[in-house]
Amino acid sequence: MAEPRPLALSHLRRLEAESIAIMREVAAEFRKPVMLYSIGKDSSVLLHLAMKAFHPAKPPFPLLHIDTTWKFRDMIAFRDQRVRELGLDLLVHANPEGISQDINPFAHGSALYTDVMKTQALRQALDIHGFDAAIGGARRDEEKSRAKERIFSHRSVTHRWDPKNQRPELWNLYNTLLAPGESMRVFPLSNWTELDVWEYIQLENIPIVPLYFASLRPVVERDGALIMVDDERMPLQPGEAPQWRSIRFRTLGCYPLTGATPSTASDLSAIVREMTASRTSERQGRVIDRDSAASMERKKVEGYF
């Protein structure tokens, strides 16, 4: 295998071609697909691939952002700018019940907050619009239960995932048949790793939220995580005072639940270098994964992405 074969696709081009093929299958096989857009780096790659898959046409499905109302301000600004630049349809949904009860990560804890503002909100949005397929940016290397999930992942009428009864997925053949009310979650980035995503962002020069690049930002250290104080809603505990530190994010979720990494990596090659040397996984910065050993699986069973 030492001799590179001139007509073989490179690793990243092969991943790209596979993801494009998956998106085209979704467009061809489903009645009303949608693409989940959570503004993070995986979403940015997903969006970039969707633009490629249907070129010169626009992607034949809208984007959907589940707004928990606790996203970083930079993320929302970036979202609106990207959608404008690309001329795409964006749907935004926040759980009105959650908003009226002011469900937030500080007062209600991450588990309830995630359920109401993410899982339930997503289920509501899919039901309201009657989407039968939702494309998401999850990767198998993120988490153990994700590693078990199919590329075309079947959901019941109540959006539940049955990990013990998944459809066999042989070759590149996907069973896309649904009963009325059932839906499919589709993961074109299943076979990508975190490093692949960064290398691809670098290769393709894909725009990402500036929070991924190191800069001086106000943070407090809480439960071993560096939490950025993004707006005045964050209640400071006695003795806590935001400090300005050079940080960046490996993963972007809701700001009170996403830990930052001390870093000086302010461009993509520095980030890729930092990634290669890293001794921790990206999910380490996600507070919600720490709830319990199988928490991701349980959330997914209930309809979380």
Partner 1 sequence: MTVHHAIIGRTPEAAWTYAEDNAHDKPTLRLVTCGSVDDGKSTLVGRLLYDSKMLLDDQLDALASDSKVAGTAGPALDFALLVDGLQAEREQGITIDVAYRFFATRRRRFVVADTPGHVQYTRNMATGASHADLAVVLIDARKGVVSQTRRHSHILALLGVRHVLVAVNKMDLVGFDADRFTTISVAFRTMAEQLGIADVQCVPVAARDGDNVFRTSGRMPWYSGPSVMEHLESVDVADGIEGRPFRFPVQWVNRPNAEFRGFSGRVASGTLRCGDPVVVHPSGRRSRVSGIVTADGRLQQAISGQSVTLLLADEVDASRGDVLTSGTPPMVADHIAAHLIWFDDEAMRPGRRYLLKSGTSSIGAVVSAMKHRVCIDTMAQETALTLEANEIGCVDLVLDRPLVCDAYRDNRDLGSFILIDPFNRRTVAAGLIDAPLRRPANISWQTIDIDKSVRARLKQQKPCVLWLTGLSGAGKSTIANLVDRRLCELGRHTALLDGDNLRHGINRDLGFSPEARVENIRRVTEIAALFVDAGLITLVSLISPFRAERETARRRFATGEFIEVHVATPLAACEARDPKGLYKRARAGELSNFTGIDQPYEAPETPDITIDGAALSADEAAELIVRHLREHHYF
Residues at the contact surface with partner 1, assessed by CB under 8 A: 1, 4-14, 16-18, 20-21, 24-25, 27-28, 51-58, 140-141, 143-145, 147-148, 163-164, 166-173, 175, 177-179, 190-191, 193, 202-205, 267-268, 278-281, 283-284, 293-294, 297-298
> What distance lies between CA 225 and its chain's CA centroid?
20
Q: How far is the CB of 157 from partner 1 (least distance, A)?
A: 13
For CA atoms 67, 70, 73, 78, the dihedral sign is negative
The token pair at 172 is 């590149």
Q: Is the peptide bond before 56 cis (omega within 30 degrees of 0)?
A: yes
Q: How far is the CB of 179 from partner 1 (least distance, A)?
A: 6
Q: By the 8 A CB rule, do 233 and 300 touch?
A: no
Q: Which is nearer to partner 1, 100 or 205 (CB)?
A: 205
Name the helix (H) or strand (E) containing 114: helix 105-114
Q: By the 8 A CB rule, do 264 and 176 touch?
A: no
CA angle 216, 220, 222 (to 5 degrees): 140
Q: Which is nearer to partner 1, 43 or 145 (CB)?
A: 145
The token pair at 106 is 């500080």
Q: By the 8 A CB rule, do 72 and 228 touch?
A: yes
For residues 25 and 297, what is the distance between their CA atoms, to the nearest angstrom? 26
The token pair at 277 is 């040397």
Q: How far is the CB of 251 from partner 1 (least distance, A)?
A: 13
Q: Which is nearer to partner 1, 65 or 139 (CB)?
A: 139
The token pair at 278 is 């890293």
Q: By the 8 A CB rule, do 220 and 186 touch?
A: no
Strands of 63-66's sheet, edge to edge?
Answer: 90-93, 63-66, 33-36, 133-135, 183-186, 152-155
